[in-house]
């Protein structure tokens, strides 16, 4: 199922500093699109995610992985939950950011896209 590949493509986009490839994994044109993130005290919009993608693409030596991922799938929705670990920065000042996540994905034109994402930072990992 292609929904499983969404996480792989997100990580590859981060590794490749490719903001456009990252944005292609999100259903940005769907009016239901939204993201909740620990660092933002509001529901993030498609425009907010475009800015975040540019920041992520500019990270120095990024390494992102998804751990303990679980998928629940039906005909028109897939839900992924797990842990996201992002490391970035020069070797001397490399930082690690860990979050719990849940993603709601829907098929659009034959490709699974993220309609809603929720990231909660794990205390003590930022």
Structure confidence at residue 42 (pLDDT): 87
- As a whole number, the mean pLDDT across the chain is 88
C-alpha pair distances (Å), 85 with each of 29, 48, 67, 71: 27, 21, 8, 18
Given a cut of 80, whether residue 71 has pLDDT beyond it is: yes
Give domain limits for the chain. Answer: 3-121
Partnered with residue 121 across adjacent β-strands are 99
Question: What pLDDT is recorded for position 92?
Answer: 67
**pTM for the whole structure:** 0.88
pLDDT value of residue 91 = 64
Nearest-angstrom CA–CA distance, 87 and 3: 24
Whole-number Å distance between alpha carbons of 12 and 96: 18
Class of domain 3-121: alpha beta
And the tokens for 11? 């990580």
Does residue 64 contact residue 15 with C-beta atoms inside 8 Å? yes
């Amino acid at each position: 199922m292609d929904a499983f590949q969404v996480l792989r493509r997100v990580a590859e986009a981060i590794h490749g500093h490719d903001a456009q490839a990252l944005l292609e994994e999100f259903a940005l044109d769907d009016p239901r699109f939204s993201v909740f993130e620990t660092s933002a005290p509001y529901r993030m919009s498609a425009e907010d995610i475009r800015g975040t993608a540019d920041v992520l693409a500019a990270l120095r030596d990024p390494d992102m992985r998804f751990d303990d991922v679980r998928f629940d799938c039906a005909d028109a929705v897939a839900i992924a939950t797990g842990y996201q670990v992002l490391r970035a920065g020069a070797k001397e000042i490399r930082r690690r950011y860990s979050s719990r996540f849940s993603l709601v994905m829907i098929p659009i034109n034959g490709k699974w896209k993220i309609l809603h994402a929720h990231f909660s930072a794990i205390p003590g990992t930022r």
